[in-house]
Structure formats: structure tokens, C-alpha cells
């Protein structure tokens, strides 16, 4: 997994560095023909690529702290960035002075639009793949260089916007056809979906807690950690206050300790229109505690009812057995038809041989097991022989 991450970072930083070099070559070769708006736009794009490059390099140095080329590579990138930014800044300053010296506002507008029309197709925006924390930077550059630029037709703006999207962001507007009518709809849809301070804040908090641990004390590792932390903190402070940061950090830690179901219950109740507070989270968790307690009491009550029902059935069965036993004891003897004693105390049957007793009971249609009428031995619920446990009377 680490090797794949390293290769991916190498590719990303190489692409970003290549973009810096390309901007440098364009500015150096065509500096006299570039208009003020394009110079300003290229300066914004330069900043975006350099930020991306630093992020990739920082991640790479974290994974490969022993790579001796780290310092050299970072220095090379900084030199390219400094030289291009210096040149752009100087050209922008000169262009502004030139525009200020034009004889009339009409001539200024004509020259500006003429130069822009020649170079509009060269402007390139940073990519946006749906990461909430990157949306403000992306839409800010787009608005400044494209949306607010009167030299673009509406359908051109729409095409440039959609062409600058990747991943989740591109899927979010997949159903919209590129047209004049859909351009404001696409802008609104992207803004509704990704201009969410709560999700930006959560994403940044996650990045903060996922910063890699320093395993070896080096100046590069420590600098990378401090730079990364300061960048994340600065982004969070641009969205909320220190209190918001503290609340979000507490919620993040608590949620990492909870079961998946409780985490889902919290996420279902989150109001994405406001930054999260621990008080709101605590209320949701307290309510879930009450629900779980009621559930436990209900289950306990159901279990007690079940035990009582089983005990009642057992008691009733015992009472029925005693009642049947009493009924047998009070019945008359079927052998001699004497009401003064039962079959169990009849001397006539007790004096007969066992085989004869068996035949006598069968002839009287008595149950062999309990010596009562009305059922067969197969349906008898009385206890069996106390000596051999066979289905006959003791």
C-alpha cells in the first residue's frame, strides 16, 4: 500500500511541477503580449499549483524521510515558484502603469479586450474533485478569472466550469447539459452541494487527527508537521472560531469511541447549516441513552413475563395431576363395585396373579398405567412404574 501511495505522490508532484515550469516558459516567452487579466489569472493558477506541489512533497517526505533528494527537490520547486511569481508581479505592475497612461478609457477597454480575446483559450483552472475544503479556493479562482470576465460567452463559462471538475464533483452535475440556461443551475448546484462550512470543518478536523506520527526526529519531519498543522488550522479559522474548533475536536474524539449504530444516529441528526457543538451532540447521545434504557427494561419485563407464564403452566399441570389423583382416590372400585375402597386397596385384585391382574384390567377397559377409565396408556399423563419405569401401574 505504501509503495502505491509513493508512486501516486511522485506522479502528482511531477505533474504540479511540470505545470509550474509550463507557466514559467509561457510568461518568459510571451511576457510582452500577455494582458493584465491573463497575468493576474496565471498568478492565481501558479499559487494553486504550488500549494498542491507542497502538499504532495510534504506527504512524500513523510513516507520517505530518508530520501536524500527531498531537500534538493523542494528547493528546486521553490526556486521555480519564486522566479515565476517575481516575473508575474513585475509584469502586472508594468501593465497597470501602462493602462494608467492611456489617453482615454475607450482605448484602454479596446486594447484590454483585444488582448484578452487572443489569449482566453490559454487560461487553465485548478481541478476540483469534490473535496469540501478545496471548494472555496476553486470557486474563488473560477469567479475571478472566468465567471466575472465579460469576454467569455455564457456557454464558454459553462464548458470551462464542467471541464474543470473530477470525481464526485463531476458526477454531481452529470445530468446537466452544457448550455446557457443550465450555467446558473450548475453553479447553484455546486454551491449547494460543496459550499458547506460544517462538512468543510469536519473534513479539516479529520485531516488534523490523521496527520502521521513522527517516528524519527528530523528537521524536515518536524517542519512538515508544523506546516501541515498551521495550514489546517488557518483553514479552520477562516470558517469558524477557536470554540468551534474545540467543539469539533471533542465530537471527533467521542465519535471515534462509539459503536457504529450510535455514530449513525448522531450523523442522522446533524444540522449541516450550522457548525457542530458538543451541547447538541450531548443531547443526542443522552436521548439515545434513554432509548436504550427503555429497550432494556422492556426486554427484562418480557423475560419476566415469560418466566411467570412457564411457572404458571407448571403449577396448573401439577394441580391438575393432584386433582386427577384425588378423583381416582375417591372413585369406587371397578373390580368389586364397592364404594368403600378404590381399586388400589382392593383385596380381590391384589390376591390375583400378575398375569390375571393384567387381563382383568384390560377386560374392564382401564388404563394399564393409572387404572382409570377414559383413555389408553398412550395418552396417559400419570407417572410410570416406580420400580422399573415401564408404562404400567406399580
Most confident of 105-109, 120-124, 277-281, 344-348: 277-281
Query: Which residue, 372, 374, 373, 394, is CA-closest to 385?
Result: 394
Three-state DSSP at 165 gives strand
Residue found by looking up cell 458538543 in the block? 278
Query: Which residue, 147, 14, 130, is CA-closest to 80?
Result: 14
pLDDT digits (tens, 9 = 90+) for 53-70: 888 888 888 888 888 888
> Which of the pair, 124 or 290, is modelled with greater confidence?
290
Rounded to whole angstroms, the Cα distance separating 47 from 44 reads 5
Rounded to whole angstroms, the Cα distance separating 361 from 327 reads 18
Three-state DSSP at 344 gives helix
32: buried, middle or exposed (CB in 10 Å: 19+, 13-18, 0-12)? exposed
Query: Which residue, 12, 20, 73, is CA-closest to 43?
Result: 20
Which residues are CB-neighbours of 136 under 8 A, at least 6 positions away?
A: 195, 200, 238
pLDDT digits (tens, 9 = 90+) for 338-370: 777 787 778 777 777 777 788 888 888 888 888
What is the per-residue pLDDT for 271? 72
What is the per-residue pLDDT for 181? 92
Average pLDDT over residues 284-306: 79
Amino acid at each position: 500500500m505504501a509503495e502505491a501511495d509513493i508512486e501516486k505522490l511522485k506522479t502528482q508532484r511531477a505533474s504540479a511541477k511540470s505545470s509550474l515550469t509550463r507557466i514559467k516558459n509561457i510568461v518568459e516567452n510571451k511576457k510582452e503580449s500577455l494582458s493584465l487579466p491573463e497575468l493576474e489569472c496565471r498568478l492565481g493558477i501558479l499559487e494553486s499549483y504550488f500549494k498542491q506541489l507542497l502538499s504532495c512533497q510534504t506527504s512524500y517526505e513523510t513516507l520517505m524521510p530518508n530520501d536524500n533528494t527531498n531537500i534538493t527537490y523542494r528547493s528546486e520547486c521553490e526556486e521555480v515558484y519564486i522566479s515565476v511569481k517575481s516575473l508575474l508581479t513585475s509584469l502586472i505592475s508594468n501593465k497597470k502603469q501602462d493602462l494608467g497612461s492611456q489617453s482615454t478609457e475607450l482605448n484602454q477597454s479596446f486594447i484590454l479586450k483585444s488582448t484578452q480575446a487572443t489569449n482566453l483559450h490559454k487560461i487553465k483552472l485548478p481541478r476540483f474533485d469534490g473535496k469540501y475544503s478545496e471548494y472555496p479556493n476553486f470557486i474563488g479562482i473560477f469567479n475571478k478569472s472566468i465567471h466575472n470576465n465579460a469576454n467569455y460567452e455564457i456557454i464558454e463559462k459553462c464548458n470551462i466550469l464542467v471541464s474543470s471538475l473530477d470525481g464526485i464533483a463531476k458526477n454531481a452535475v452529470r445530468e446537466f447539459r452544457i448550455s446557457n440556461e443550465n450555467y446558473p443551475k450548475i453553479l447553484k448546484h455546486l454551491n449547494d452541494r460543496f459550499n458547506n462550512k460544517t462538512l468543510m470543518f469536519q473534513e479539516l478536523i479529520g485531516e488534523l487527527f490523521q496527520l502521521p506520527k513522527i517516528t524519527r526526529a528530523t528537521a524536515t519531519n518536524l517542519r512538515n508537521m508544523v506546516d501541515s498543522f498551521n495550514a489546517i488550522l488557518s483553514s479552520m479559522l477562516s470558517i469558524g472560531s477557536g470554540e468551534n474548533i474545540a467543539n469539533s475536536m471533542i465530537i471527533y474524539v467521542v465519535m471515534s469511541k462509539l459503536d457504529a449504530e450510535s455514530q449513525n444516529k448522531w450523523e442522522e441528526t446533524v444540522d449541516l447549516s450550522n457548525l457542530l457543538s458538543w451541547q447538541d451532540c450531548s443531547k443526542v447521545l443522552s436521548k439515545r441513552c434513554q432509548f436504550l434504557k427503555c429497550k432494556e427494561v422492556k426486554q427484562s419485563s418480557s423475560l419476566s413475563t415469560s418466566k411467570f407464564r412457564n411457572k404458571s403452566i407448571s403449577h396448573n399441570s401439577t394441580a391438575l395431576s393432584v386433582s386427577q389423583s384425588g378423583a381416582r382416590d375417591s372413585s369406587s372400585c371397578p373390580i368389586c363395585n364397592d364404594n368403600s375402597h378404590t381399586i388400589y386397596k382392593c383385596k380381590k385384585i391384589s390376591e390375583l396373579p400378575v398375569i390375571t391382574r393384567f387381563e382383568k384390567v384390560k377386560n374392564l377397559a382401564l388404563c394399564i398405567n393409572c387404572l382409570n377409565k377414559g383413555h389408553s396408556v398412550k395418552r396417559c399423563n400419570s407417572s410410570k412404574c416406580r420400580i422399573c419405569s415401564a408404562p404400567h401401574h406399580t
